[in-house]
Chains A and B, each alone.
Chain A
Amino acid sequence: AQKVTQAQTEISVVEKEDVTLDCVYETRDTTYYLFWYKQPPSGELVFLIRRNSFDEQNEISGRYSWNFQKSTSSFNFTITASQVVDSAVYFCALSEGNQGGKLIFGQGTELSVKP
């Protein structure tokens, strides 16, 4: 069965600290896609990144980086030098190859960055 687990419900850091948000997924499909979305206090869902199951390259975008490891079924998200504007709920999501595009979301990690 497909499942996404974000074990960290809440994380609180002080500005400029690095923080890693964990995501562990379960799927029987060999073709699947992983995503991270950000939900700021205003409520919208903002797409951050997509990874395909056949591409294990890590990715860096500014202060954001993602570590995809199939061996541990993890897709972790690191924010370097966190800022107050990073405060949000972050969702990891999975889409399987044969599920018509449905996103299976984790429960989300609420990140609070304090000045």
Chain B
Amino acid sequence: EAQVTQNPRYLITVTGKKLTVTCSQNMNHEYMSWYRQDPGLGLRQIYYSMNVEVTDKGDVPEGYKVSRKEKRNFPLILESPSPNQTSLYFCASSLGESPGKTGSRTREQYFGPGTRLTVT
């Protein structure tokens, strides 16, 4: 089954304790991304990756790190979590860009089930 998986699904942690949220997709997608969802602020992009070893900041990258060593995995790392990083996190993937192709099935991002993180 084609899917994006995230682990853990729920996590309660304390300020300053490093954590990693894993994300894996089995669709051979080039593009992967992390979003956070907060009440009143909606969904905002944290980081994205166009392909292996290519990552870039989204709109709210502060306090986060990512890596893309393999095509299927895109972990989100919080080196020193703080309470303002309490949020619902989504990983997403898509085929990526197809320059010059109109109507191609790119761009739609498929989301993982979400990780609810609480930092106390």
Given A43-B88, A45-B90: A35 in contact with B103 (beta carbons within 8 A): no
B100 to chain A, nearest CB (A): 11
**Is B79 in the interface zone, CB < 8 Å from A?**
no
Give the size of the chain A interface in residues (CB under 8 angstroms). 22
Q: Which size class do B's interface residues fall under?
A: 20 to 34
Residues of B within 8 A of A107 (CB): 42
**Is B85 in the interface zone, CB < 8 Å from A?**
no
Does B114 lie within 8 Å of A100, measured CB to CB?
no
Residues of B within 8 A of A95 (CB): 107
Does A44 lie within 8 Å of B109, measured CB to CB?
no
Residues of A within 8 A of B108 (CB): 33, 35, 47, 50
Residues of B within 8 A of A46 (CB): 111
* Residues of chain B having any CB pair with chain A under 8 Å: 31, 33, 35, 42-45, 48, 50, 56, 58-59, 88, 90, 92, 94, 96-97, 102-103, 107-114, 116
* Residues of chain A having any CB pair with chain B under 8 Å: 33, 35, 37, 43-47, 50, 52, 54-55, 91, 95, 100-103, 105-108
